[in-house]
Structure 1
Amino acid sequence: MLEIKKYAAIDIGSNAVRLLISNIIILKDEGPKFKKSTFIRVPIRLGADAFNSGIISEENSKRMIDTMKAFKLLMKVHGVEMYKACATSAMRDSTNGKQLIQRIKKETTIDIEIIDGKKEAEIIASTDLTELTEGHKSYLYVDVGGGSTEFTVFSKQKVIASKSFKMGTVRLLNKKIDKKEAWKEIRNWIETHTKDLKKIVLIGSGGNINKIFKMSGQKIDKPLSYIYMNTHYQFLKKMSYDDRISELGLNPDRADVIIPATKIYLSAMKWSGAKKIYVPKIGLSDGIIKSLYSGTLKA
């Protein structure tokens, strides 16, 4: 007998806030199937506040409250039976993040959990990544956000190592980190944990790599090559911010962060020796829903 459950995930990142509503299709004697029903992205750049002044502005606080009210109504009309809201690096690093969460809960009843980088990586890793690599035995999963980047090394369907680094697209744009030291730390970590792995491939996650993949015109189940990524990076760098919006059709909040994001993916490929990057449409929101269903994450 067929059973359908409807779960939702709210991902409060540094560059945007997202709502994912998914149908969970349950058939007897079969594993659950997760099918995306609705996805909404609101470009509230909390990281621009958190990484510059350390405080989320009143303007963005009000936008957050309005967004959560809208998400609450959308979940109601969609008949969502269970949901989880998680906030990442911008909320973690802002001095008034906890106060804003209390305001949101008071006005919307949505309870937001601030998660650290390690938990974020664990939730993302719950998305059954091993099904996406066409039999490759080793791969490096890279999720680039506005405030941090999560790296997870898998080999023979087991997690070898996982780490979150405070290097994200908004941090790089706002020059709030020691770039030289940050890049060195990431390079050392990647090389240390991938040096003994052969034919490693990357799996990329995040809005920027999804946009790059869409622009490539590549088939959904096919990877992008290192050569393509490098060529595309050089192409984007030569264009002005305005041209990336007017000629490539990028949203204003994507046209600037796409360049540092591409550099992170490209660097990860170079340091791990990966020649290909797969781009499945998965991320923290997908991991939240699967973790809710499995019971490893509580609503």
Structure 2
Amino acid sequence: MKLQTVAAMDVGSNAIRCLISDVTGLSPDKSVKKNAYLRIPVRLGADVFTSGRISDARQHMFMEAMTAFVHLMRAYDVDHYRICATSAMRDAANGPELINSVGRATGLEISIISGVEEAEILFEANVFSGWVDSDETALYVDVGGGSTEIIAVRNNTLLEAQSFQVGTLRMLAKVVAPEEWLRLDAHLARMAEIYRPRQIIASGGNINKAAKLLDKKEGKATSRAELQALYEDLRSLPYAERMARYRLNEYRADVIVPALEIFLTVAARSGAGRFVIPKVGLVDGIIRHMCFHGGADQSRRPPAPSFRDIP
């Protein structure tokens, strides 16, 4: 019997992701089943990481996406939702103003979360069970458009989490601060010395696409050499040929190269030799946090069904 329907939205730098899930059963036998998933390529970071602000055009796109989310929640009869905004919205000078405008127009509440909060919610996605030996430390690495989150985990326990302003859109715009690269390098050197991780649990749209290109089933290990070979081939191709040969859309063809560069850098510096790609992300963590880990107090009920202020 269905207990409730919940929705999560990740307002990322490269795209907006929405997940709607049905929750069945009661604790401790509660389970979550994905119902609908939607990705909207609103690249907030393309503006923010170069100008510090979200342009009028992308503000309009964002408002349209949020309006669609309201309609989607009503169509699926959602009971609770949570929206988390990450790196681009954190950095945008007009981010709070835009969130207030969306709230007035749609009734939606959006939380801007810190990089460490983002990492902790990612951990809630529970991707480690069954793929990491109890006595082994693994690194969970999520690469986005604006930031990279790195979590050290052992025996399903979060040991530490860090966020770095190193992301695909920042790399394409060549705006990653040199000191941030140094901070990342020092952190990975420490991870290698303390934990000696053998594998990376990798998440994000680009690594999911890489797994598909390599014909890897979910959870099947990918070697560093396999990912390196794919990276070298993608990097060698002009943008248009990359799209044609690998059947990549325009919103994936440019960012996949810097994403793989980040993953390979983390692997090389930490000493990890393989990747496991479970195809989960922040929205999965938000859902699980709401359902299993006391996050219900941070969720909201969908706005009342009044269309007066929504085009």
TM-score range, shorter chain: over 0.9
Work out the CA distance in 2 between the residues paired with 1:36 and 1:218. 21
* Structure 1 contact 132–280 (Cα < 8 Å) conserved: no
Structure 1 vs Structure 2 CA RMSD: 1.5
Work out the CA distance in 2 between the residues paired with 1:134 and 1:126. 15
State how 1:270-285 maps to structure 2 within 5 Å. 270-285=268-283
Work out the CA distance in 1 between the residues paired with 2:101 and 2:194. 49
Work out the CA distance in 2 between the residues paired with 1:115 and 1:197. 28
* Residue 236 (structure 2) pairs with residue 238 (structure 1): yes
* Residue 151 (structure 2) pairs with residue 177 (structure 1): no
CA apart distance, 1:32: 2.2
CA apart distance, 1:277: 0.5
CA apart distance, 1:198: 4.3
State how 1:134-283 maps to structure 2 within 5 Å. 134-135=132-133, 137-178=136-177, 180-198=178-196, 200-283=198-281
Matched with 1:9 is 8
Work out the CA distance in 1 between the residues paired with 2:279 and 2:146. 20
Q: Which of 86, 107, 126 is the matching residue for 2:105?
A: 107
Q: Secondary structure at the match of 1:131?
A: coil
Work out the CA distance in 2 between the residues paired with 1:31 and 1:188. 42
Q: Which of 35, 38, 46 is the matching residue for 1:37?
A: 35
Amino acid paired to 1:253:
Y
Work out the CA distance in 2 between the residues paired with 1:98 and 1:199. 39
Deviates most, 180-189 or 36-45? 180-189
Q: Secondary structure at the match of 1:154?
A: strand
CA apart distance, 1:51: 0.8
CA apart distance, 1:193: 2.4
Amino acid paired to 1:153:
A
Amino acid paired to 1:130:
F
Amino acid paired to 1:226:
R
Question: How many residues were matched structurally?
Answer: 296
Work out the CA distance in 2 between the residues paired with 1:144 and 1:134. 20
Work out the CA distance in 1 between the residues paired with 2:192 and 2:274. 15
Identity of aligned residues (%): 38
Deviates most, 29-38 or 122-131? 29-38
Residues 189, 198 of structure 1: alpha-carbon distance in 2 compared, 3 angstrom cutoff: closer
Q: Secondary structure at the match of 1:130?
A: coil
Q: TM-score, normalised by structure 1?
A: 0.95
Q: Secondary structure at the match of 1:247?
A: helix
* Structure 1 contact 126–287 (Cα < 8 Å) conserved: yes
CA apart distance, 1:146: 0.5
Amino acid paired to 2:156:
Q
Q: Secondary structure at the match of 1:9?
A: strand
CA apart distance, 1:31: 3.0
Work out the CA distance in 1 between the residues paired with 2:132 and 2:154. 13
Q: Which of 125, 128, 132 is the matching residue for 1:127?
A: 125
Work out the CA distance in 2 between the residues paired with 1:82 and 1:190. 38
* Residue 21 (structure 2) pairs with residue 22 (structure 1): yes
CA apart distance, 1:199: 5.2
- Stretches of structure 1 that go unaligned for 5 or more consecutive residues are none
1:188-231 CA-to-partner distances (Å, cap 9, x unmatched) read: 10120232334521000100000000111112231110110111
* Structure 1 contact 92–116 (Cα < 8 Å) conserved: yes
Matched with 2:81 is 83
* Structure 2 contact 211–217 (Cα < 8 Å) conserved: no
Work out the CA distance in 1 between the residues paired with 2:205 and 2:25. 29
* Structure 1 contact 153–194 (Cα < 8 Å) conserved: no
Amino acid paired to 1:281:
K
Amino acid paired to 2:126:
D
Work out the CA distance in 1 between the residues paired with 2:33 and 2:264. 30
Matched with 2:308 is none
Structure 1: 4+ residue segments shifted above 4 A: none
